[in-house]
Amino acid sequence: MEGMNNVSDETGTATKGAQVTEGKQWEPNIVAFLCRWCSYAGADLAGGSRIKYPPNVRIIRLPCSARIDPKLVWRALEQGADGVLVSGCHPGDCHYTSGNMYARRRMQMFYELLTFLGVEPGRIQMSWVSASEGQKWAQVVSSVTEDVRKLGPAKFV
């Protein structure tokens, strides 16, 4: 029953989401929830500008960082993601005036809860990336990927 959610082999490396085939080195699998106005556009700019960044991140676009319900974050981890990145507009830049400010409080308290439950702090991270910050997006992804790589595969079963 336990294995239904998260198919793992004996070493705990092959998770459902990571799709790691045998013999290949483990690569962190990171889910990124981005607000469509700033961070998604920033990631788009990074792509358009051909800035190189690690391919470990799977992007999910949402209307606003305030739409990033903490249960989405936990669902990603539950389904086998090794890390989650949450990103929105800089304070004051929110398309909906203040969505990112609510998101900041929510995520702060959600970190506290997950950390208390034993999720390593680096697995969930939050960033502000604006539509013009393609370079920053690449840096954020690199640093998050490195952090998650150091932590190793998530084993939440």
Partner 1 sequence: MEEITKKIQDEARKLLTEGRVRAVVGYRRGWSSEVATPCFVTTEGGTDRLLYDASCRHNLAKYLVGREGLFKFAPTEEEENLPVAIVARPETQRTLVAMIKEKRFVRSDLIVLAINDGSQAGLEPDMEVGRIEADNKGREELQAKIEALDAMEPSERWEFWKEELSKCIRCYACRQVCPFCYCERCIADENQPQWIKKAPTTLSNVSWNIVRAYHLTGRCTECGECERACPMDIPLSLLNTKLAMSVEDAFGYRAGIDAEALPPMFEFREDDNDEFIL
Residue ranges that bind partner 1, judged by CB under 8 A: 1-2, 4-6, 70-71, 74-75, 78, 91-92, 98, 101-102, 104-106, 108-121, 125-128, 140, 143-144, 156-157
Identity of the residue, 24 or 105, whose beta carbon is nearer to partner 1 in the bound complex: 105
Helix, strand or coil, per DSSP, at residue 45: helix
Cβ 111 to partner 1 shortest distance, Å: 7
Residue in the block written with tokens 């997950």: 114
Are 153 and 15 spatial neighbours (Cβ–Cβ below 8 Å)? yes
Q: Nearest-CA neighbor of 88 among 41, 137, 136, 39?
A: 39
Identity of the residue, 60 or 109, whose beta carbon is nearer to partner 1 in the bound complex: 109
Are 43 and 34 spatial neighbours (Cβ–Cβ below 8 Å)? yes
HSE-CB for 69 with a 13 A CA cutoff? 3
How many residues are present in the chain?
157
Identity of the residue, 29 or 87, whose beta carbon is nearer to partner 1 in the bound complex: 87
Cβ 101 to partner 1 shortest distance, Å: 4
Identity of the residue, 71 or 150, whose beta carbon is nearer to partner 1 in the bound complex: 71
Cβ 53 to partner 1 shortest distance, Å: 14
Cβ 23 to partner 1 shortest distance, Å: 27
Cβ 24 to partner 1 shortest distance, Å: 25
Identity of the residue, 29 or 88, whose beta carbon is nearer to partner 1 in the bound complex: 88
Are 57 and 82 spatial neighbours (Cβ–Cβ below 8 Å)? no
Distance CA 108, CA 78 (A): 19
